[in-house]
Amino acid sequence: MAVIHENLSFTILVMAAMSLLTFSITTQNTSATTSETRMLADLNPTNGAIADGRADYRERGNSVRLNVEVEDVSPNTTFTVEISGNTLGTITTSSFGTAELELNTNDGQVVPKILRGDLVQIFQGTELVLSGSFDGDGNIENGGQATITPNQNSVMQAGNSSSNLFTVPSGNATTTASIPVVDTPFYSEHITVTSQNPINASHLQASLSGSGNLTLPNSTETIAVNSTGSALVNFETTSAIVHEFLTTTEDEASENASATIYEITRHDVNARTEKGVVIAIFETNSTGQLAFLDGMIAVGQADVDAVGNTDITLWEFETGIPRVKNWMEVLMMSSQE
């Protein structure tokens, strides 16, 4: 019964979010259409090792994405990613020996133009570990390889800390949704899967461990938090219901909060990764630094790697409605008057 109740809550939240999107979307140019060009590169080991990797480049109108993923390489190690001699950035592998670099113009990042035959190389220090060339349906239109400037390198390596969640370019058409969120994210977390327990062919229960950074309100001060939790994963809908218990780490008198997170993702069968949307609600009895979390609703994005580890970024959802904890009781009392 608990699962049914959670799924019902999840459905209500998603319906509410979809309703908000439906009534807030403004289309600037609905007549523009565009096709997608895609090229893939299989990355093969250069030293006879069992390492593996792949690169995936997609261009659709003004939207460009480049994903580079490695696996079965040295765990907890930093690697450098280069394309045709240009450094794109560095990646650090997990304890499972996997890592991913993703650049997306939708997130405000700089993505170089890729041509068929461009060489992808993965270095550990000065040692070449993986390499492979892009192949696809043909060269991207409108020019050759774009030069990557030092400034672009710094932008790409730094990543993007203020992704525009709700602007979706498609060719010359831009669709924007007016979602009432705070301008900057208040929480980011890396969540690791520590164990898995299959329930049936489409569901599993996972135990989680995480570490994150929480930005205090009206401040640039951040505090570190650790988390433990569990997730009910549905493979058919690529969704999960997550319950987390958060604890501050920087003070002897630690504070606690809990979060219920609803996640829906889209699975990339080639890269074996996922990206999607997150809705979360926090609760706490804290009267200290975490007090502002009580009742907070948040929306955000999730990036899931090939082994299920997830990076989430959350923005506060501003309803403009003050929270009443015992709202059901208040409604019942008012109906009796």
Residue 260 belongs to domain with CATH number = 2.40.350
Tell me the C-alpha to C-alpha distance, in Å, between residue 245 and each of 3, 171, 181, 294, 308.
19, 42, 24, 13, 19
Q: What's at 173, amino acid-wise?
A: A
Domain that holds residue 295: 187-316
Mean pLDDT of the 288-296 span: 89
Q: What is the number of structural domains in the chain?
A: 2
In a domain, 14, yes or no: no
- 165 part of a folded domain: yes
Strand duo 135-136 + 167-170: pairing:
unpaired
139 and 210 both lie in a single domain: no
Beta strands 52-60 and 36-45 are: antiparallel
152 and 218, same domain (yes or no)? no
Average the pLDDT over each of 117-126, 280-289, 293-302, 313-322 and give the range with the smallest value: 313-322
Q: Is the per-residue pLDDT at 153 higher than 90?
A: no
The domain boundary residue, chosen from 124, 152, 176: 176
By the 10 Å C-beta count (0-12 exposed, 13-18 middle, 19+ buried), 247 is classed as middle
**50 and 116 fall within a common domain:** yes
In angstroms, the CA 157 to CA 91 distance is: 9
Please indicate, yes or no, if residue 4 is contained in any of the structural domains. no
3-class SS of residue 10 = helix
pLDDT tens sequence across 305-336: 888 889 999 999 887 777 777 777 777 777 77
**Contact between 118 and 84 (Cβ < 8 Å):** yes
Q: Is the pLDDT of residue 278 over 80?
A: yes
Q: Which amino acid is at 180?
A: P
Q: Phi/psi at 151 (nearest 5 deg)?
A: -65, -40
Boundary (domain end) residue, out of 145, 176, 207: 176
At 12-45, the pLDDT tens digits run 444 444 444 333 333 333 334 456 788 899 999 9
Question: What is the pLDDT confidence band of residue 11, given thresholds at 50, 70 and 90?
Answer: very low
Whether residues 41 and 172 fall in one domain: yes
Look at the chain and count its residues.
337
